[in-house]
Amino acid sequence: MRMPRLPLLLKIAAAAAAGALALIVAARLRKEDAVASLRREIRETLAALGADDEDGGVSDAEGAKDDASPPPPSILVAGFRAHGKSSLVNTACRALAAEDGPLLLRAEASPPGGGADGPRRRRRVKAVVSGADGDGAGDGDVVELLDAPPLQEAGRLTRDEIEAAISGGDPECVVLVLRCDAPAKERNAAIKKLPEISAAVRNKGLNLIIVLTFKKAMRSIRQAEELIREVSFRARTDCVYFIENYTWSNNGPNLHHPPVIKNDFETHFTVLTIIRQCLEFIKLNRTQSKDKKEDKQAKPPDKQAKPPEPKPNHPTDAKQYRKFTDSSVRLFYNNSET
């Protein structure tokens, strides 16, 4: 059998390499298109929210419409200490703004080990949504992320502390962050608090989303399925997501320059999906509030009850009243007979 010539083998190898490269590029383009599509949906939802707020603007005493711009949708990110709460805020800002290169911090994240036990204040972070094809963001393409102070330890956490944590800042949706690789005792105590946290959030008329961070700590798919099943059952919600946040420790230290964080499709897609779901909840809640307000304004006033006829108190008045009614009755019957 005659062996093929070397040039032919080189052509076949080059064609195979070109085909593999084309598949890799096509897969990458599909991922980038999926992320860009989510950003576009987020911008469209923000535009719809702004239009609804302008249509339902409050008028003053003179009938003039309020010129103040509508507030951006507000999302509260809550969680226990060192569970990845602030890192989720930084990850969301990076994905929304389509940033590359070093990780820019908007929220103060605790270092490995949990950080200090000092008090933390609630921080408002304006996350800007990148425009199409990397263009600048519009005036209303902003999502407000509230980085809440860390909750107390699950064993000492009370209902009043939960309500105080979710009440500040007037949030419209609540994202609770739990750490997958936390010690078993700490993680189980946090999961047992989910029914109480979920009830407090729903009593405020808000929706709850659970985010499980450090997903790479899951050793198997079965372990991840069991965890997500238990969290969904206790929190009474199907909105449970796994994510691996962007942190400085992902790539290790770099003595020459700040480490460059490589964007990950799964992290980008997951965090944008979380933001998109929050905006959908906010849109539904605002629509329902607007409908209730319009129904209340359109409801006709109740008809006033006819005041009862005054009854005479004096005996003389009673005789005159009886005489008047008797004559009226006789006049009525006489008219009927005729």
Q: Is 146 inside a domain boundary? A: yes
The rounded distance, in Å, linking the Cα atoms of 312 and 185 is 80
Q: Is 249 inside a domain boundary? A: yes
Q: Domain count of the chain?
A: 1
Q: Is 263 inside a domain boundary? A: yes
* Residue 95 domain boundaries: 74-294
Q: Is 323 inside a domain boundary? A: no
Q: Is 300 inside a domain boundary? A: no
Binning pLDDT at 50, 70 and 90, where does residue 333 land?
A: very low
Digit-coded pLDDT (tens) for 173-210: 999 999 998 888 999 999 999 999 999 999 999 999 99
The answer to whether 140 touches 72, Cβ cutoff 8 Å, is yes
Does residue 260 surpass a pLDDT of 70?
A: yes
Q: Is 23 inside a domain boundary? A: no
Q: Is 273 inside a domain boundary? A: yes
Q: Is 21 inside a domain boundary? A: no
**What's the pLDDT score for residue 14?**
83
Digit-coded pLDDT (tens) for 18-44: 888 888 888 878 888 999 999 999 999
Tell me what the pLDDT averaged over the chain comes to.
Answer: 81
| CATH number where 83 lies | 3.40.50.300
326 or 252, which is more confident: 252
Does residue 71 surpass a pLDDT of 50?
A: yes
